[in-house]
């Protein structure tokens, strides 16, 4: 009987070790904290620490783009939209929109975006001496390959309503303040932004394939409605050459890949 118990114990310990190895294999190793995350969960055990990036207005705006649904999960956007690069989270008020708000406009320059969709907009700032341009490549240069990056984030619920927020208030449009490229404004009235250390996002990354770039994130916790006509106007002509919503990176949940939110 004792031999049987010992044999069972050996099998149990061995299988437990294999399970741990398999679990570790699903998590990328020796990377800094990753993004996106549930901003209501402050826990995280990633040991990599770097300095919080300067506040908006202290560095150059280098890019503006947006994603299909919210990459992050927060108090105002916690409806699960599915897995894959077109999953993520939707604004809580999605099911409460009126027929008028959901009416498709005659013209749509933002390919694939329609009333009722949730989008997560990213305003990317860089410490490099760079000008606003296409993609994250615009945020660095040969002379500045390791920039300090900051992303200001707002999740919007797209509606057909000219009384909703005008996206034109938040665009670049050649705006320069104290010699630095800036958006005309950043969204307000959607809660105190949650600030934390993370990485770049996008569907090319997972928990097993991590981003090496270090980014300070500032995510507003509540959704805001934005008029699709104003978004379409921006998609028609912007220096970033953006005319569609990008795919999302699925939520990062492994504590070892998350920083602690203070």
Q: What is the pLDDT along the chain (262 residues), one digit of tens a residue?
A: 444 343 433 333 333 343 333 345 589 999 999 999 999 999 999 999 999 999 999 999 999 999 999 999 999 999 999 999 999 999 999 999 999 999 999 888 899 899 999 999 999 999 999 999 999 999 999 999 999 999 999 999 999 999 999 999 999 999 999 999 999 999 999 999 999 999 999 999 999 999 999 999 999 999 999 999 999 999 999 999 999 999 999 999 999 999 999 9
Give the whole-angstrom CA distance, residue 151 versus residue 198.
10
- The verdict on residue 172 lying in a domain is yes
Q: Which domain holds residue 213?
A: 31-257
Is residue 177 domain-shared with residue 218, that is, in the same domain? yes
Q: Is the same domain home to 105 and 9? A: no
Both 7 and 39 in one domain: the answer is: no
User: Is 7 inside any structural domain?
Assistant: yes
| CA distances for 17 relative to 8, 11, 29, 52, angstroms | 14, 10, 18, 38
Q: In total, how many domains does the chain have?
A: 2
> Is the pTM of the predicted complex or chain greater than 0.85?
yes
Tell whether 225 is covered by a domain: yes
* 11 shares a domain with 132: no
Residues 23 and 46 both lie in one domain:
no
Whole-number Å distance between alpha carbons of 188 and 186: 7
Instruction: Evaluate whether residue 100 is within a structural domain.
Output: yes
| Spatial separation of the C-alpha atoms in residues 112 and 159, rounded to whole Å | 14
In DSSP notation, 100-137 reads HHHPPPS---SBT--TT-EEEEEEEEESSS----SSGG
Residue 262 covered by a domain: no
């Amino acid at each position: 009987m004792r031999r049987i118990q010992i044999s069972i114990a050996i099998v149990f310990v061995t299988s437990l070790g294999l399970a741990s190895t398999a679990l570790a294999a699903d998590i990328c190793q020796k990377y800094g904290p990753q993004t996106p995350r549930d901003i209501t969960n402050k826990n995280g055990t990633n040991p990599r620490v770097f300095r919080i990036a300067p506040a908006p207005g202290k560095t150059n705006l280098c890019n503006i783009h947006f994603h299909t649904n919210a990459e992050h999960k927060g108090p105002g956007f916690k409806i699960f939209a599915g897995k894959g690069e077109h999953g993520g989270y939707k604004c809580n008020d999605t099911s409460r929109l009126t027929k008028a708000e959901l009416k498709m406009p005659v013209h749509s320059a933002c390919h694939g975006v329609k009333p009722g969709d949730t989008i997560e907009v990213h305003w990317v700032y860089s410490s490099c001496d760079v000008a606003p341009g296409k993609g994250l490549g615009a945020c660095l240069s040969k002379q500045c390959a390791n920039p300090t990056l900051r992303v200001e984030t707002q999740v919007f619920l797209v509606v057909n309503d000219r009384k909703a927020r005008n996206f034109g208030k938040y665009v670049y449009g050649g705006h320069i303040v104290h010699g630095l490229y800036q958006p005309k404004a950043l969204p307000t009235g959607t809660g105190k932004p949650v600030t934390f250390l993370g990485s770049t996002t996008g569907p090319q990354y997972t928990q097993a394939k991590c981003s090496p770039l270090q980014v300070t994130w500032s995510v507003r916790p509540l959704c805001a409605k934005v008029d699709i006509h104003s978004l379409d106007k921006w998609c028609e002509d912007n220096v970033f050459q953006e005319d569609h919503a990008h795919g999302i990176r699925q939520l990062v949940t492994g504590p070892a890949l998350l920083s602690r939110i203070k």
